[in-house]
Amino acid sequence: MPIHIAIDIGGTQLRAAAYHPNSLEPVTVMRIPTRDEHTTPLERLQFLITQVWPKDETVIGIAVAAPGPTDPYRGVVIEAPNIPGWVGLPLRNYLENHFHVPVALGNDANLAALGEWMFGAGQGHAHLIYVTISTGIGGGIINDNRLMLGTHGLAAEIGHVTVIPDGPTCGCGSRGHLEAVASGTAIARWVREELEQGAKSSITIDEPITAKVIGEAAQSGDWLAVSAIARAANFIGVALADLLHIFNPSAIIIGGGVSRTGPLLLEPMFTTMQNHVMNPGYLEDLILRQAAFGDDAGLMGALALARTNFPE
């Protein structure tokens, strides 16, 4: 029976799974740390693929979800955050030459959008926007049942929409981007700054302050944590209102760790969108919901790419 192999590359771990056609349950799945002292990330990726490679079945294609800017047309990782040396890496050629099967490559957030559209919360929507909110902010856009890539595959970097001109510096070096004020990292930074100025909270300045800690405190009703999530939701809602004007989708899917706060994030986000669209028609029949796949977003996105590029 034919097999697709899906790969999810992260800064801390590599994941691989083998799938039969028409099944979302992996035949084999494995994860390993991205780095160790003795082998390179590329060598570790090669080892991981061999571990999930079926012995008595035929692999018809490998699809890879890679972090950071990626050129899917040339199969090149332009720059992978947190993986030293992965700049201009011709990953597709490397894997094809080693494994002798076709390989497809895409940005992990773009592919998460494809996975949600094909298998998850976006099924049935020809036009959708996907946003992932975690350490950073990424995204993907499905337009007329097609993943929007752009000239060099760099489209849909939603986290780098400017929401505050001359605002805080983003990790990319520019100022005022959505990621700089609404990512999990930005939420944690804002809470720490508020605590340093004397704000009251169940979160203490002496403990590690993370988006996860803040999300849990918000779920328990902590005022500062709730305010932090609502503040981020407001910035995201502003950016999404702009995207509604451009793409007029029928669904907005929110993924990433911060999305686990559910209504605490989604409700103020929707209110902000209502306040910023030029006409309520943009919200008519619009669905705003959490993503279906959570930590499996990268794998499911890679599987969606594999089934699109390498049909049985």
pLDDT band at 159 (very low <50, low <70, confident <90, very high): very high
- Alpha carbon distance 96, 268 (integer Å): 46
pLDDT at residue number 280: 96
What DSSP line would sit under 8-26, residue for residue?
EE-SSEEEEEEE-TT--S-
Tell which residue, 136, 172, 192, has the closest CA to residue 11. 136
- Alpha carbon distance 139, 130 (integer Å): 5
- Alpha carbon distance 204, 136 (integer Å): 23
Average pLDDT, the chain: 96
Q: Is the pLDDT of residue 248 over 90?
A: yes
Q: Write the CB contacts of 54 (distance below 8 Å, at least 6 apart in sequence).
A: 3, 18, 27, 28
- For the segment 173-197, what is each residue's pLDDT rounded down to a tens digit? 999 999 999 999 999 999 999 999 9
- Alpha carbon distance 152, 188 (integer Å): 33
The vertex-264 CA angle with 258 and 266, nearest 5°, equals 75
Domain boundaries, the chain: 2-112+296-309, 123-291
Cβ atoms of 59 and 102 closer than 8 Å = no
Q: CATH assignment of 2-112+296-309?
A: 3.30.420.40
- Alpha carbon distance 80, 106 (integer Å): 12
Residue 137 three-state SS: strand
Same fold yes or no, 2-112+296-309 and 123-291: yes
- Alpha carbon distance 29, 52 (integer Å): 7
- Alpha-helical (H) ranges within 69-107 are 91-99
- For the segment 18-49, what is each residue's pLDDT rounded down to a tens digit? 999 989 999 999 999 998 888 999 999 999 99
Q: Is the pLDDT of residue 230 over 90?
A: yes
**Single-letter amino acid code for the residue at 284:** E
Q: Is the pLDDT of residue 81 over 90?
A: no
First to last CA, the chain: 10
Tokens coding 239: 């950016």
- 123-291: CATH architecture: 2-Layer Sandwich (3.30)
DSSP state of 223: H
* Residue 40, burial from CB neighbour count under 10 angstroms (0-12, 13-18, 19+): middle
Q: Is the pLDDT of residue 4 over 90?
A: yes
pLDDT at residue number 47: 95
